[in-house]
C-alpha cells in the first residue's frame, strides 16, 4: 500500500499491507489476544524497570477486558468503523498501546504512529505484540495492527489520512491543526485530544487526620500520578488547590514526606534538573503572581500563587514542579476553570460535594473527577468522549 516510501518508514509491528476489515466490538479473539499480551508483558523481566508498562499489562489483563465488555456491550448490532489512524503523543511512551487497544476492542484495523523519539517501553511492548501475533490462533488479526515510526513526512500522513475511516489524534493543539490540513474520506471522523490541564484538590484537615499507613498510600498514589510520567501526561496535576484551616501544616508534612518517597524511587535526569531550575528562575523574575517558593531537594519545587488568573492553564511545571493555591471556598476557583481543564484529582473532599460544585458553577471544563492515584487510569470515557460509541457504528435492523 505504501511501498514507495517504505525506506523512510520504520515498521515496528506489521507492514504496509494493513487490512481495512472490521469486527464486532469486544470480539472474542481480540479479548483473548489482549489477555495473552498482558501475560507476556508481565512475564518479561525488562518491565521491572518500567512501572508504566506493568500498569498497561494490568489494565489489559483478560479479567479487566471482560469487565469492559460487560459494561460497554450493547444490544444493537455494532461493527468497527474500519481503519483507524492513531497519531500518538511524543511525551507519554505507553499511550500508543492504549490507543491501539481502544481501536482493537471496538473492532477496527489500526495504523499507529508512535513517537519518533526512542523509548524502551515502546520497544518492549512492540516485541511482545510481535511475539503474540505469531501464534496461529491470532493470525486472523495480524493484519489489523501496523505500528510505525517516522517524522516530518507529510506525504505519508496524507496518504494514511486519505484512506482512514477515523483518526485518533493525541498530539496536542499544534499536531491537531496540522493533521486537519490533510484530506480524509467524507464519512471519516476525527477524535482529537488537545492540550489539556489538570489539577488536584487536597483538604488539609482531613489529610492531617489519617494514620501513617493511609498517608503513605496517598503519597504513593500521588507519586504515580505525577513522577511516573514526569508530569507530562495531560491528566497529571500541575496545580494543587489546598482547602481547609490547616493548610500550612498539611503542606509541610505532605511535601516533606513525598520528597522522601521521590528520593528513593525517582531518577531526575540532568536535563530535567536544569529545565526545572531554569523554570523557577524565570517565574521568580517574571511571574507577578508569584508569592513564595520552596524546594525539597532537587526533586520537588513548589510555588504558592497569590491568586489564580485567567488562562491559569498556562502555569505548567514538570519533573516535580508544582504550583499551589489556597482557598476557603471551592466556588472561588470556578471562574478560572476553562475548557482546557481535563482531570480533577482529589483527596479529603467528598465526591458528592465536588459534583455539586461542578453543577452549581456550570463548569465549562473538567471531564474527569477521580481520587488521587487514578489520574492516569485511562478508559473508554476520555476527554469527554465515549470512545466505544465513537469508534463503532450501529446497524439498525427492524
Element (H, E) at 355: helix 351-360
Confidence of residue 7 (pLDDT cuts 50, 70, 90): low
| pLDDT computed for residue 272 by the predictor | 87
- Shared-domain flag, residues 130 and 272: no
Cα separation, 109 vs 140, in Å, equals 11
* Domain membership flag for residue 86: yes
Residue 81 has pLDDT above 80, yes or no: yes
Lowest-confidence region among 25-39, 246-260, 299-313? 299-313
Q: DSSP 3-state assignment of 369?
A: strand
Beta bridge partners of 202: 242, 347
| pLDDT computed for residue 150 by the predictor | 93
Residue 21 has pLDDT above 90, yes or no: no
- Shared-domain flag, residues 44 and 189: yes
Highest-confidence range of 139-143, 165-169, 272-276, 312-316, by mean pLDDT?
A: 165-169
- Shared-domain flag, residues 30 and 125: yes
- Shared-domain flag, residues 187 and 202: no
Cα separation, 394 vs 77, in Å, equals 6
| pLDDT computed for residue 152 by the predictor | 83
Q: What is the CATH number of the domain that holds 362?
A: 3.40.309.10
Q: Indicate the residue among 175, 193, 211 that finishes a domain.
A: 193
DSSP 8-state assignment for residue 103: H
* Domain membership flag for residue 16: yes
* Domain membership flag for residue 300: yes
Half-sphere exposure of 369 (CA within 13 A, CB side): 16
Taking the CB of residue 35, how many other CB atoms lie within 10 A of it? 18
Residue range 168-193: mean pLDDT, rounded: 93
Residue-wise over 18-31: b if at least 16 C-beta within 10 A, else e? Answer: bbebbbebbbeebb
| pLDDT computed for residue 309 by the predictor | 84
Residue 40 has pLDDT above 90, yes or no: yes
- Shared-domain flag, residues 267 and 133: no
| pLDDT computed for residue 3 by the predictor | 52
Helices (H), 237-331: 247-265, 270-286
Residue 111 has pLDDT above 60, yes or no: yes
Residue range 207-226: mean pLDDT, rounded: 96
| pLDDT computed for residue 20 by the predictor | 82
Domains: count for the chain: 2
- Shared-domain flag, residues 240 and 118: no
Q: What is the CATH number of the domain that holds 48?
A: 3.40.605.10
- Shared-domain flag, residues 152 and 14: yes
Report yes or no on whether pTM surpasses 0.75: yes
- Taking every pair of Cα atoms in the chain, the longest distance, rounded to a whole number of angstroms, is 68
What grid cell was written down for 198? 489538570
Crossing angle of the two packed helices 212-226 and 247-265, in degrees rounded to 10: 70
Share of the chain above pLDDT 70, in %: 98
Q: Which residue has the higher pLDDT, 7 or 327?
A: 327
Q: Indicate the residue among 155, 175, 193 that finishes a domain.
A: 193
Residue 158 has pLDDT above 90, yes or no: yes
Tens digit of pLDDT for each residue in 242-293? 999 999 999 999 999 999 999 999 988 888 889 999 988 888 888 888 888 9
- Shared-domain flag, residues 255 and 292: yes
Closest CA to 132 of 13, 50, 21: 13
Residue 2 has pLDDT above 80, yes or no: no
| pLDDT computed for residue 79 by the predictor | 94
Element (H, E) at 381: strand 381-382
- Shared-domain flag, residues 279 and 264: yes
Residue range 337-359: mean pLDDT, rounded: 95
Q: Indicate the residue among 193, 209, 225 that finishes a domain.
A: 193
What grid cell was written down for 271? 536535563
* Domain membership flag for residue 382: no
Tens digit of pLDDT for each residue in 365-376? 999 999 999 999
Cα separation, 273 vs 268, in Å, equals 7
| pLDDT computed for residue 256 by the predictor | 96
- Shared-domain flag, residues 59 and 177: yes
* Domain membership flag for residue 378: no
CB 325 within 8 A of CB 308: yes
Taking the CB of residue 334, how many other CB atoms lie within 10 A of it? 17
Cα separation, 212 vs 215, in Å, equals 5
Cα separation, 263 vs 271, in Å, equals 17
| pLDDT computed for residue 282 by the predictor | 87
* Domain membership flag for residue 376: no
From residue 102, give the alpha-carbon distance in Å to each of 136, 208, 281, 372: 23, 40, 42, 24
| pLDDT computed for residue 1 by the predictor | 54
- Shared-domain flag, residues 338 and 222: yes
Residue 226 has pLDDT above 70, yes or no: yes
| Residue 292: domain span | 197-371
Residue 215 has pLDDT above 90, yes or no: yes
How many Å separate Cα 70 from the centre of its chain?
A: 23
* Domain membership flag for residue 28: yes
Share of the chain above pLDDT 90, in %: 76
Cα separation, 30 vs 24, in Å, equals 10
Q: Which residue has the higher pLDDT, 74 or 9?
A: 9
Cβ burial of 374 (10 Å; 0-12, 13-18, 19+) is: middle
- Shared-domain flag, residues 169 and 301: no
Residue range 326-355: mean pLDDT, rounded: 95
Confidence of residue 5 (pLDDT cuts 50, 70, 90): low
* Domain membership flag for residue 36: yes
Amino acid at each position: 500500500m505504501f511501498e514507495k516510501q517504505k525506506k523512510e518508514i520504520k515498521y515496528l509491528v506489521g507492514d504496509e499491507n494493513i487490512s481495512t476489515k472490521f469486527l464486532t466490538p469486544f470480539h472474542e479473539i481480540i479479548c483473548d489476544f489482549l489477555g495473552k499480551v498482558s501475560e507476556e508483558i508481565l512475564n518479561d523481566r525488562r518491565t521491572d524497570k518500567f512501572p508504566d508498562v506493568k500498569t498497561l499489562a494490568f489494565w489489559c489483563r483478560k479479567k479487566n477486558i471482560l469487565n469492559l465488555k460487560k459494561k460497554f456491550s450493547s444490544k444493537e448490532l455494532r461493527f468497527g468503523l474500519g481503519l483507524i489512524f492513531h497519531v500518538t503523543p511524543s511525551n507519554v511512551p505507553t499511550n500508543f498501546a492504549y490507543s491501539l487497544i481502544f481501536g482493537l476492542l471496538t473492532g477496527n484495523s489500526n495504523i499507529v504512529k508512535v513517537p519518533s523519539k526512542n523509548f524502551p517501553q515502546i520497544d518492549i511492548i512492540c516485541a511482545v505484540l510481535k511475539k503474540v501475533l505469531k501464534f496461529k490462533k491470532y493470525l486472523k488479526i495480524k493484519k489489523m495492527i501496523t505500528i510505525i515510526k517516522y517524522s516530518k513526512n507529510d506525504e505519508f500522513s496524507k496518504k494514511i489520512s486519505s484512506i482512514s475511516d477515523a483518526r485518533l489524534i493525541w498530539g496536542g493543539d499544534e499536531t491537531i491543526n496540522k493533521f486537519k490540513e490533510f484530506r480524509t474520506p467524507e464519512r471519516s471522523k476525527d477524535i482529537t485530544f488537545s492540550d489539556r490541564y489538570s489539577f488536584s484538590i487536597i483538604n488539609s484537615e482531613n489529610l492531617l487526620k489519617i494514620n501513617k499507613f493511609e498517608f503513605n498510600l496517598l503519597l504513593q498514589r500521588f507519586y504515580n500520578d505525577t513522577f511516573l510520567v514526569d508530569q507530562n501526561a495531560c491528566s497529571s496535576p500541575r496545580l494543587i488547590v489546598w482547602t481547609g484551616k490547616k493548610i500550612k501544616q498539611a503542606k509541610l508534612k505532605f511535601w516533606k514526606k513525598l520528597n522522601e518517597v521521590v528520593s528513593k524511587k525517582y531518577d531526575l535526569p540532568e536535563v530535567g534538573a536544569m529545565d526545572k531550575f531554569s523554570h523557577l528562575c524565570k517565574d521568580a523574575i517574571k511571574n507577578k503572581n508569584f508569592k513564595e517558593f520552596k524546594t525539597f531537594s532537587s526533586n520537588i519545587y513548589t510555588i504558592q500563587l497569590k491568586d489564580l488568573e485567567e488562562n491559569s492553564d498556562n502555569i505548567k511545571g514538570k519533573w516535580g514542579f508544582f504550583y499551589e493555591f489556597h482557598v476557603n471556598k471551592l466556588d472561588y476557583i470556578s471562574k478560572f476553570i476553562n475548557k482546557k481543564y481535563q482531570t480533577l484529582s482529589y483527596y479529603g473532599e467528598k465526591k458528592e460535594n465536588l459534583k455539586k460544585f461542578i453543577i452549581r458553577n456550570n463548569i465549562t471544563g473538567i471531564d474527569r473527577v477521580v481520587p488521587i492515584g487514578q489520574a492516569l487510569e485511562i478508559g473508554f470515557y476520555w476527554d469527554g468522549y465515549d470512545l466505544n460509541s465513537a469508534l463503532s457504528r450501529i446497524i439498525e435492523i427492524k
